[in-house]
Amino acid sequence: MRIDPAELEIFKSLFHSVAEEMGAALRRSAFSPNIKERRDYSCAVFDGAGRAIAMGDHMPVHLGSMPRSVEAAIQALKLEAGDVAMLNDPFAGGTHLPDITVVSPVFVRGVRGPLYYVANRAHHADVGGAQPASMGTSEEIYQEGFRIPPVKLFRKGEMVRDVVELLLANVRTPREREGDLKAQIASCRLGEQRLIEMATKYGWKKILKCQEALQNYSARLMEEALARIPNGTYRAVDYLDDDGSGSEPLPIAVTIEIRGRKAKVDFRGSAPQCRGNVNAVLAITESAVFYVFRCLLGEEVPACAGLMAPIAVSAPEGSIVNARPPAAVAAGNVETSQRIVDVLFRALAKALPEQIPAASSGTMSNLSFGGIDPRSGKPFTYYETIAGGMGARPTADGLSGVHTHMTNSLNTPVEVLETMYPVRVRRYSLRKGSGGRGKFKGGDGIVREIEFLCEVRGALLSDRKKIAPYGLAGGEPGKPGKATLTLPSGEVLDLPSKTSFTAPAGSVLRIETPGGGGFKGRE
């Protein structure tokens, strides 16, 4: 059956609109500022074999790794009509424990088995563990929170209350967690409804042919993009500052081999998995590769599984980019994913020097804290990522104060932060002059000062404090990050990039995020 190009574009937009509407429903009904305000969630649609058909314009680190979660749910459970699966285990398709993924099958009359799956992933501001907000320093996964293999959250339309109670008994903020989970379920129900409406309107046989055509179309587009890259082998290495547990800088190495319309991406030479929590599971590494190569295409390309068909990814098992249990992984999702992107772009810059930007801030600058709110006497937990500078582009300056690459979240508005939590924002501004110099300047980072109005236990998971974001084509690197904690006594503590801390009431935390690298180019 020949697919009309106009019709193919219509179905691409229809599938994408389902993922986008799922995201809007999740955002509007969520309880936590992390999901409602920062939009730390992602939604996607998958076919009956678990292949991605469409992704919302959400978090790259979630979207490229979510197929592993859907695959794990399908393999572990027999999902029937009305069922909803839940998981967060990084070694069973997840990424890190705060990211809870919900997967629901979609059944259409006349078709045996699920015609689709809808899924979303949301970062929960606490899933238990040793540290409030579940994002502190750690040396094994058991310290990081409540670990959920693929289980049924709903069975035949009824919530499995025992599973929910087990989760809620192991977190510090159960009401917020239950509210966010229900928002995720509502999002999946809406996606299910929209896909059934599509199948009813157009007929499931026609839709199946169109979605297969979308997969083939996206694969061809990626092949054409690869064919425009000169044949060759391109290598690069970049480093994480440390693992937060006393290590030296940790290399992440990549070799990209381009041959015609195919690519091989090999991470041999990367550091072995380490004691700290910067270990990334394979889903994270695949997600970063998906993101980088998708950046070589236009924005209108279907974001589906076909994009990866011409690209082979290999990563040594037991390495920092393909960790084995019981490795700690909380920062692998947020920090190592960024460095994988940096090293991939650094390698591709040798092949496409007029297209690839300099390094962006290279860190999500994760801040988490919690304690007992004196206004209510109840526990609270908070998590956010803080923006930095974008790397300069070959034809333009980098943007300042933006989330880049594997994160696509927003900031928490000052008004929300001060209303919801016992803190006061003392300063929130651009970090002038932190972008690297060149013909085109790297974007500036952020300065954020937060005063704690009660005692808190907090944590920073960040990077690019020792090793600055690189410039390209002779451009200068961006300024590295910095963090200090000023105690009520006036003593100022210089905080490492990865640390857990206790701060008494009246303490002020100051975070300065890195700027992007500069791009000099030809005069």
Domain boundary residue, one of 218, 237, 260: 218
Position 69 in a domain = yes
Residue 458 lies in a domain: yes
Which pLDDT score, from 0 to 100, does residue 311 have? 98
R_g of the chain, CA atoms, integer Å: 22
Determine the distance from the C-alpha atom of residue 90 to the mean position of all C-alpha atoms in its chain, rounded to a whole number: 13
Residue 523's pLDDT band, with cuts at 50, 70 and 90, is low
**Angle (CA) 117 118 124, round 5°:** 135
CA neighbor of 100 nearest in space, from 82, 77, 125, 74: 125
- Is the residue at 499 inside a domain? yes
pLDDT of 521 > 80? The answer is: no
User: 387-397, pLDDT tens digit by residue?
Assistant: 999 999 999 99
Instruction: Between 92 and 512, name the one with better pLDDT.
Output: 512
Query: Do 462 and 365 contact (CB within 8 A), yes or no?
Result: yes
Domain boundary among 218, 236, 264: 218
Range 338-360 average pLDDT = 97
Report yes or no: 319 and 272 within 8 Å, Cβ to Cβ. Answer: yes
Peptide bond into 422 cis (omega under 30): no
Q: Which pLDDT does position 111 carry in this prediction?
A: 86
pLDDT score for 110: 84
Kindly state the percentage of the chain with pLDDT values over 90: 92
Q: Range of 68's domain?
A: 5-218
For residue range 62-82, what is the model confidence (pLDDT) as tens digits?
888 999 999 999 999 999 999
| DSSP summary character for residue 519 | B
Higher pLDDT, 398 or 57: 398
Q: pLDDT at position 146, please?
A: 97
Q: Is the pLDDT of residue 2 over 90?
A: no
Q: What is the pLDDT of residue 136?
A: 95
Instruction: Give domain status of residue 268, yes or no.
Output: no
Amino acid 57: pLDDT: 87
- Within a 10 A sphere around the Cβ of 175, how many other Cβ atoms? 11
Q: Amino acid identity of 18?
A: V
Q: What is the pLDDT of residues 363-383, one digit of tens each?
A: 999 999 999 999 999 999 999
CA–CA dist 52, 68 (Å, integer): 10
- The residue from 173, 188, 218 where one domain ends is 218
Helix H or strand E segment including 122: strand 116-123
Domain count, the chain: 2
pLDDT (tens digit, 9 = 90+) per residue, 79-124?
999 999 999 999 988 999 999 999 999 999 888 899 999 999 999 9
Q: At what angle are helices 282-294 and 66-76 packed, to 10 degrees?
A: 140
In single-letter form, the type of residue at position 311 comes to I
C-alpha dihedral sign at 223, 227, 233, 238: negative
35 in Cβ contact with 183 (< 8 Å): yes
pLDDT tens string 435-488: 999 999 999 999 999 999 999 999 999 999 999 999 999 999 999 999 999 999
Confidence at 499, pLDDT banded by 50, 70, 90: very high
Task: State the average pLDDT over residues 24-41.
Answer: 95
| Mean pLDDT across 136-146 | 97
In this structure, of 184-188, 268-272, 410-414, the range with the lowest mean pLDDT score is 410-414
Q: Do 361 and 214 lie in a common domain?
A: no
As a whole number, mean pLDDT of residues 30-47 equals 94
Gap between the Cα atoms of 389 and 403, Å rounded: 8
Q: What is the pLDDT of residues 192-228, one digit of tens each?
A: 999 999 999 999 999 999 999 999 999 999 999 999 9
Q: How many CA atoms lie within 13 A of 72 on its CB side?
A: 25
Residue 64 domain-assigned (yes or no): yes
For residue 43, is pLDDT > 60?
Answer: yes
For residue 61, is pLDDT > 90? no
CB of 252 closer than 8 Å to CB of 266: no
Check: CB of residue 15 under 8 Å from CB of residue 45: yes
Q: What value does the mean pLDDT take over residues 398-408?
A: 95
- Whether residue 351 has pLDDT greater than 90: yes
- Collapsing DSSP to helix, strand or coil, 366 comes out as strand
Q: Kindly report the average pLDDT of the chain as a whole number.
A: 95
pLDDT at 1 over 60: no
Residue 156 has pLDDT above 60, yes or no: yes
Q: Summarize pLDDT for 274-318 with one digit per residue, the tens.
A: 999 999 999 999 999 999 999 999 777 888 999 999 999 999 999
Sign of CA dihedral 416, 419, 425, 426: positive
Residue 430 is inside which H or E element, if any?
strand 423-431
Is 247 within the bounds of a domain? no
* Contact of 159 with 151, CB cutoff 8 Å: no
The span from the CA of 39 to the CA of 187, in Å, is 14
pLDDT band for 408, please (50, 70, 90 cuts). Answer: confident
Please report whether residue 392 resides in a domain: yes
Structure tokens of 66? 């979510």
229 in a structural domain: no
Residue 317 is given by DSSP the state: T
Taking 70 as the threshold, does the pLDDT of residue 162 lie above it?
A: yes
Q: Which residues contact 328 (CB under 8 A, 6 or more apart)?
A: 138, 139, 140, 141, 143, 144, 275, 276, 277, 279
Alpha-carbon torsion (179, 183, 185, 189), positive or negative: positive
